[in-house]
Chains A and B, each alone.
Chain A
Amino acid sequence: MISPSVILLLGWMIIPLSLTIYFSFLRYNLITPTGNPFVGWENYYWFLTDPSFKAAMINTLVMVGGILLITVIGGIGFALLLDRPMWGQGIIRIMVIAPFFVMPTVSALVWKNMFMNPVNGIFGRIATGLGFEPIDFMGQIPLLSIVLIVSWMWLPFATLILFTAMQSLDQEQLEAAEMDGAGWTSRFIFIVLPHLARAITVVILIQTIFLLSIFAEILVTTNGGPGTASTNLTYLIYVSSLLQFDVGMGSAGGVIAIILANIVAIFLMRMIGKNLDA
């Protein structure tokens, strides 16, 4: 009885996937409608040897890695803070979660225009007020700016998952460690971190899947530039298929992205499998 749903799911995946693969072997440019001849691996060759591909790969890795680092470390920090009793706990918890509910385009625009703009942005104003040269975030440090914006958006997610995990930590274990002579740092390293390991892997897995395809934030802030300084793989595919109207090339990029995402997923699954066994 599971076959209808399996067939539906397969169709759901297979049709767009096979179309993408099919297009990736055609010369299919919307500007030069000269028929769509089969060209073999040509699209792949040009996509992979394009210097912007290498740049995009590096940018993707830096983005995903940087955001993961910031959100996991920040998330653990926030979870530790939220875990201790304090005044106004409820409101603070809601405020910490709030950024997650803002749409990516909106929050990226708010950051771009209200915080990071060198003339009107708050950071710029502060810098000018203190007598410094304001930083042009989107021009000088575009990649870092995007990493910061997206980290801000994903921090609540990491915090939420890690905070929930923190609350399930048996207090008696901490007390036992305290009796055993473990100071605050030792308790954190030997008791809290191992307890959080599972939650951390979940955060990393889920975020990686979403972070590999960051797009809106780049589109509304830097447009992948200057040059290719903030172009990731997703954005490169968009550029080649829709800005350069080369559907074949875009499809080849898409297939490569799928393969890369699967490699990452398999790698992460193994890591999680190891962690979940324990």
Chain B
Amino acid sequence: MGQIQLNQVSKSFGSVEVIPPLDLTIEDGEFVVFVGPSGCGKSTLLRLIAGLEDVTDGHVMIDGDDATDIVPAKRGLAMVFQSYALYPHMSVRKNIAFPLRMAGLDKSEQDRRVTEAARVLNLTDYLERRPGQLSGGQRQRVAIGRAIVREPEAFLFDEPLSNLDAALRVGMRLEISELHKRLATTMIYVTHDQVEAMTMADKIVVLQAGVIEQVGSPLELYQRPRNTFVAGFIGSPKMNLIGGSEAAKHDAATIGIRPEHIEISEGPGAWEGTVGVSEHLGSDTFFHVQTAASSEPITVRAQGELGLRYGQKVYLSPSMEHLHRFDSKGLRIE
């Protein structure tokens, strides 16, 4: 079991309220991702759940029991830190065995669990090394190993992949997802990379300045963002948000249209514009098109190569069924 519930939890550092009171329920076995811009309070929220930070007000419930005053070690949660926080003077084996040793498990049981974790994480050949003699990805796996041997109720990850290079990040992303499928344990994962959020999560929690902007499955957030912040934050490249008279035509203060829902052609279309910078990814091309409809250039995603040149005149046709409308407060209009 690993159900976690936050009831009116808030956190202030001195007089600065970093997290205003919020409610959140994380179901057992769920993979929940906290996303949001830097400094929005993701790590703080995670540390409140872990117990490394005391709540200013409210209650943290784990499996229905109030855990607010329980010390971190007794909450049954394991955490993987951004810096991995491995113990530099201990071998990989000792690092992974440390929580078991602290729990007073007997030696043979410790060995059995460490061997098993090392096998799962491909660390068997590195057990006698020190963390300093490992690559970034291997260190990451040791940190995960140290978390899984405890067989916790839930895993907490704080930006675990941000120190890895892009290729390794994709690999580790898959490994963590696979681990979640196999263990079926609750995982809470903090990131500011929305691709990680979209690909890994069962449920995404979008935060801004300590406030939950929206909670939902990746597709819900993609298809029906609750407000302009979520609309702009989820999806890559970003959704085009257009205000002014163009939005007024649709009875909205702001309209949003994702780059993949706009067609670009040399023939006639809704908006006329000139091609600015284009980014060629091979499979896709992103065009930044300057139009009269919007002060910002509109990003368009087209499949393959279209052979459009810089400065060329083009027409854009947004697909009307994918148009998002927001009112003057930035909230979605259905």
Contact = CB atoms under 8 A, between A and B. Distances in A.
Interface of A: 170, 172-173, 175-182, 186, 190-191, 194-195, 197, 278
A176 B79 contact: yes
13 contacts: A172-B81, A172-B83, A173-B87, A176-B79, A177-B98, A178-B73, A179-B72, A180-B98, A180-B102, A181-B103, A186-B102, A190-B98, A195-B89
Given A181-B73, A190-B87, A194-B89, A175 B81 contact: yes
B20 interface: no
Contacts of B201: none
Interface string B66-99: 0000011100011101110111111000000011
A172 B85 contact: yes
B59 interface: no
Contacts of B52: 175, 178-179
A180 B104 CA distance: 12
Contacts of B50: 179
Contacts of A176: 79, 81, 85-87, 146
Contacts of A197: 89
Contacts, number: 59
B102 A191 contact: no
Contacts of A194: 87, 89
B79 A181 contact: no
Contacts of B83: 170, 172
B130 to A, nearest CB: 8
A173 B150 CA distance: 17
A39 B88 CA distance: 58
B87 A179 contact: no
A248 to B, nearest CB: 51
A186 B88 CA distance: 16
Contacts of B98: 177, 180, 182, 190
B103 A179 contact: no
A182 B85 contact: no
Contacts of A191: 87
Task: Name which of B77, B89, B90 has the most chain A CB atoms within 10 A of its CB.
Answer: B89
Among A173, A177, A181, A278, the most chain B Cβ lie within 10 Å of the Cβ of A181
B89 A179 contact: no
By Cβ-Cβ distance, the 4 closest A-B pairs, closest first, are A176-B85, A180-B99, A181-B102, A181-B73
Contact of A177 (B78, B82, B87, B88): B87
A173 B85 contact: yes
Contact of B85 (A175, A181, A186): A175
Contacts of B77: 179
A175 B86 CA distance: 11
Given A172-B81, A186-B102, A190-B98, A178 B72 contact: yes
Contacts of B78: 179
Contacts of B99: 179-181
A173 B87 CA distance: 7
A235 B103 CA distance: 54
A197 B89 CA distance: 10
B73 A180 contact: yes
Contacts of A182: 73, 98, 102
Interface centre among B52, B90, B103 (most CB of A within 10 A): B52
A258 to B, nearest CB: 36
A177 B87 CA distance: 9
Contacts of B88: 195
A173 B79 CA distance: 11
Contacts of B150: 180
Nearest to A193: B89
B322 to A, nearest CB: 43
A91 to B, nearest CB: 22
Contacts of B82: 172
B183 to A, nearest CB: 18
Nearest to A197: B89
B191 to A, nearest CB: 17
Contacts of B87: 173, 176-177, 190-191, 194
